[in-house]
């Protein structure tokens, strides 16, 4: 686990853009199992989260006509139960952070793993998310 003072500004990068920080397994379960679409970001302290994942999330949400009903995030290396529950819902994909999952009516419909983030251009990630929003939201 990281010191909270290090993580707080990284959390705020998404929460100030409308993402709800989920802190427990129960909150994750409740968020994912709601009707509609839920965009879940597994946030991280790594460089690809800072340079690509979080900017892509914010850009895609702000630039899309169709948007997920709910925006939520968990933080890898911090709230272990919340992250573990989120990753259960992302199976069969292996754990990775950062990662981004889109759920529709409680079912995983789109997944972006770390290797899709760190090995890709920011605008391709944004386009990937916008395409998923268009298809499922």
Annotated catalytic residue 137: no
Annotated catalytic residue, options 22, 40, 48, 61: 48
Q: Residue 93 is encoded by which pair of tokens? A: 């994909």
Annotated catalytic residue, options 7, 45, 46, 109: 46
For 55-110, how does the pLDDT look when each residue is reduced to its tens digit (9 = 90+)? 999 999 999 999 999 999 999 999 999 999 999 999 999 999 999 999 999 999 99
Measure Cα distances from 43 to 54, 123, 135, 137 in Å.
Answer: 8, 19, 24, 22
Q: How many other β-carbons are positioned within 10 Å of the β-carbon of residue 36?
A: 13
For 10-66, how does the pLDDT look when each residue is reduced to its tens digit (9 = 90+)? 999 999 999 999 999 999 999 999 999 999 999 998 888 889 999 999 999 999 999
Annotated catalytic residue 48: yes
β-strands 107-112, 70-75 pairing: unpaired
């Amino acid at each position: 686990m990281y010191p909270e003072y290090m993580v707080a500004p990284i959390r705020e990068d998404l929460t100030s853009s409308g993402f709800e920080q989920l802190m427990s397994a129960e909150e994750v379960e409740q968020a994912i199992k709601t009707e509609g679409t839920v965009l879940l970001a597994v946030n991280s302290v790594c460089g690809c989260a800072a340079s690509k994942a979080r900017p892509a999330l914010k850009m895609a949400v702000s630039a899309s006509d169709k948007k997920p009903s709910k925006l939520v995030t968990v933080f890898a290396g911090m709230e272990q139960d919340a992250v573990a529950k989120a990753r259960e819902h992302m199976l069969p994909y292996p754990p990775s952070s950062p990662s981004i999952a889109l759920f529709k009516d409680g079912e995983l419909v789109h997944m972006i793993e770390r290797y899709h983030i760190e090995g890709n251009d920011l605008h391709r990630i944004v386009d990937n998310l916008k395409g998923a929003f268009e298809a499922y939201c």
